[in-house]
Amino acid sequence: MTTSNCALCIPSTSNILWQDDFCRVVLLGDADYPAYCRVELLAHIKEMTDLAPLQRARMMRVVFAVEQALRDIFNPDKINLASLGNKTPHIHWHVIPRFENDKHFPNSHWAEALRDANPLPLDEHSINRLKERVTENIS
């Protein structure tokens, strides 16, 4: 895969909660998981160990800042962190707040649904609170 056909190398169409010259935090707008965020490295690099140690720490600092913001605002039952990259070999971390009544709990959100769930989309106020908290946690 070259950077020209990498979905994470192009400008994001998702709601950007925070960005600097290294990475960005996007709110994916997932209907089943409205507060599902992804931390995306801006450079096209495949593996965390391809980063220098300080860059690895910088990436994880952002991931943990997003996790803490989601915990503070939404009080989920669990946070899932995942970095797979099998389909998109470009460093990115999924940060997914999970609730006991979501479609898949306790299984992965990529598994078959266990129940119907229709969470409400995030309103503008919640999105703004999330942006502010992510920024505060990173600063």
Cα–Cα dist 110/130, whole Å: 24
Q: Which residues contact 36 (CB under 8 A, 6 or more apart)?
A: 27, 28, 30, 94, 95, 96, 97, 109
Could you tell me the residue range of the domain that residue 128 belongs to? 3-138
Overall average pLDDT of the 90-94 stretch = 96
Overall average pLDDT of the 121-134 stretch = 95
Q: What is the pTM of this model?
A: 0.93
Tell whether the model's pLDDT for residue 15 goes beyond 70.
yes
Number of domains in the chain: 1
Given pLDDT bands bounded at 50, 70 and 90, which one contains residue 4? Answer: low
Given pLDDT bands bounded at 50, 70 and 90, which one contains residue 2? Answer: low
Instruction: Output the domain CATH number for residue 84.
Output: 3.30.428.10
Q: What are 21-66's pLDDT values in tens digits?
A: 999 999 998 889 999 999 999 999 999 999 999 999 999 999 999 9
Length of the chain: 139
Nearest CA among 113, 112, 131 for reference residue 122: 131
Which pLDDT score, from 0 to 100, does residue 133 have? 97
Overall average pLDDT of the 6-25 stretch = 93
Given pLDDT bands bounded at 50, 70 and 90, which one contains residue 1? Answer: very low
Element at 133 (helix H, strand E): helix 124-138
